[in-house]
A and B are shown apart, each in its own frame.
Chain A
Amino acid sequence: MSRGTAIDLCYLVAAIGFIIALKGLSSPRHARAGNLLAAAGMALAIGATFARSGLAHIWLIVVAMVIGVAIGVPAARLVKMTAMPQMVAAFNGVGGGAAAVISITEFIGSDAKLVATYKVLEVVFGVLVGAVSFSGSAIAFLKLQELMATRPITYPGQQQINAVVGLGILGIVLTILVTSSTALLWVLLGLALALGVIFVLPIGGADVPVLISLLNSFTGLAVAASGFTLDSNVLVVAGTLVGASGMLLTRMMSVAMGRSLPNILFSAFGAVVTATGGEAGDANRAVRTGTPEDVGTLLAYSRKVVIVPGYGLAVAQAQHTAKELADALMEKGVDVFYAIHPVAGRMPGHMNVLLAEANVPYEELKEMDEANPEMPTADVALVVGANDTVNPAARSTPGSPIYGMPIIDADQAENIVFLKRSMRPGFAGIDNDLLYDPKTTMLFGDAKDTLQKLVAAVKKA
């Protein structure tokens, strides 16, 4: 067996590993093993590549990898669980960037005039999709990190600008196919980066997770395109796997949010914008604020309390204190459970991960469909740092950006208590009528602080 054949066999084994890993990742029991299997497959593929005959610059490769590991591992290890979504966005973006750079490098390295048209097409596709994924992920990162506005960003002439960029890309792609011009490929790179930015800007913060999943799928396709350019089976297989499964996952996520994908991607254009702006005048409506002692007594003498956690709970690192409160209440014989919205936190499943970190028993977590029928019989819905996921506008206001999103029916509980830092709107950037409801009591302040006071009050009551 020649060395080349052995290497290709290693690639085949790695590809099989990736397929089994994806299968494993979609079931709770095998998820972790699946991830490790994928990592093993990746190690095998990388190791086999080092054995390629005629691989030059090995030391340069090693140095580049050491740099990548030196940045990537600490970043991934040290990031807080609450910031995971933006890390996924970042790591996805660099993958797309790598695919685009590979395609460009292959193109300038070959004699452009002699390259067959289909080769040029592969390069153009890799550059275009990879670059969109790179810049789109960068904007998604900035939105999730709240380094820029999370609400949908619209500006005058937006659709015209989109049309110009779109047509420009189309024209340049056609010209490159005919002329094989290297200079134009750089122009295409610039325009594709711009396209990624203007594609993501109008998408609201709450929808960013679905967007990241879509960009993840795009990166997969870009990697597959580089695989075509390099004649590499393993790149084509792995890239296509991720491209296809990522599309499906994106659809499942948008279904979990009760939205269609086109609605998520393009809803900022049109009526929605005016509906958002029109409600801004509500700021001076009256709200009822309470003291932790009042609320603590209310909780201690309730029969059923539902805790509705949101991202605010995670930001305040209050998941442990929330568990303390739940335990204190259970000691008093109160029936307590957590109602988890599918997109509570910043990503589907994010809140489950955070509460599991605080050792909240699995049985106390109820998914939305299970929790909602119980809401009318709950004495108190304790909303900790959540906002959009309990906003009745999702049911009642057709113009609202979150209209149609399933929500936790906190408004049907006997009493509603909001633990919030301020009256500031949630991630979707819209006002919540429930805050002004006569049944609602507001407790302003840091969620962890307030919860600690509540624990003390419950124990005294």
Chain B
Amino acid sequence: MTNGLLELFTIFVLAGFVGYEVISKVPSILHTPLMSGSNAIHGVVVVGSMIVLGSAHTGAEEALGFIAVVLGTLNVVGGFVVTDRMLQMFKSRQPTPKGGQGAKGDEGGGS
């Protein structure tokens, strides 16, 4: 085991704890956007794809690297655009607490 590996492993463990702690309480209406948003974040794989294609020596590596960049780019742009479209739907909402304000009165008075 090299020092470099140990360093990466340290980052891995710490990032795991951060990922687990950072999203403690998520309201169920945000489950889908959160999934979609984190889907976009792992699109960072495109950076790895670029490095692979950028250091390709043989035709086979170039071809595989090319595929990886296309797939990674799809992941990034698709992920962010879909998430943004979902979240756009929430923007007109007032931040009123949704709990128990007498819906009866509100809606009855709508006439």
Contacts and interface: CB of A to CB of B under 8 A. Distances in A.
Interface of A: 14, 18-19, 21-23, 25-29, 31-32, 34-36, 38-39, 42, 45-46, 49-50, 52, 54-58, 60-61, 64-65, 67-69, 71-73, 75-77, 79, 81, 84-85, 87-88, 90-92, 94-95, 97-99, 101-102, 104-106, 108-109, 118, 209, 212-213, 216, 219-220, 223-224, 226-228, 230-249, 252-253, 256, 327, 330-333, 335-337, 342, 347-350, 352-353, 356-357, 359, 362-367, 370
A360 B57 CA distance: 57
Contact residues of B: prevailing secondary structure: helix
A367 B84 CA distance: 23
A233 B11 contact: yes
12 contacts: A42-B40, A54-B55, A61-B69, A91-B82, A98-B72, A99-B48, A102-B48, A104-B64, A216-B35, A219-B39, A220-B42, A335-B103
B82 A57 contact: no
Those 10 A-B pairs whose CB atoms lie nearest each other, nearest first: A68-B73, A244-B19, A64-B69, A95-B75, A76-B81, A240-B15, A348-B31, A55-B54, A98-B71, A91-B78
B57 A238 contact: no
Contact of A337 (B37, B91, B103): B103
Interface in B87-102: 87-96, 98-101
Contacts of B38: 22, 25, 216, 220, 241-242, 245-246, 249
Given A25-B37, A105-B68, A249-B26, A356 B90 contact: yes
Contact residues of A: prevailing secondary structure: helix
A349 B45 contact: no
Q: Looking at B24, B70, B86, B111, which has the most chain A CB atoms within 10 Å of its CB? A: B70
Contacts of A236: 8, 11-12, 15
B56 A72 contact: no
B9 to A, nearest CB: 8
A49 B96 CA distance: 43
A411 B41 CA distance: 42
Contact of A109 (B12, B57, B93, B96): B57
A238 B72 CA distance: 14
Given A26-B30, A28-B29, A57-B56, A108 B76 contact: no
Interface string B40-81: 111111111111111111101110111111111111111111
B54 A38 contact: no
Contacts of A237: 11, 15
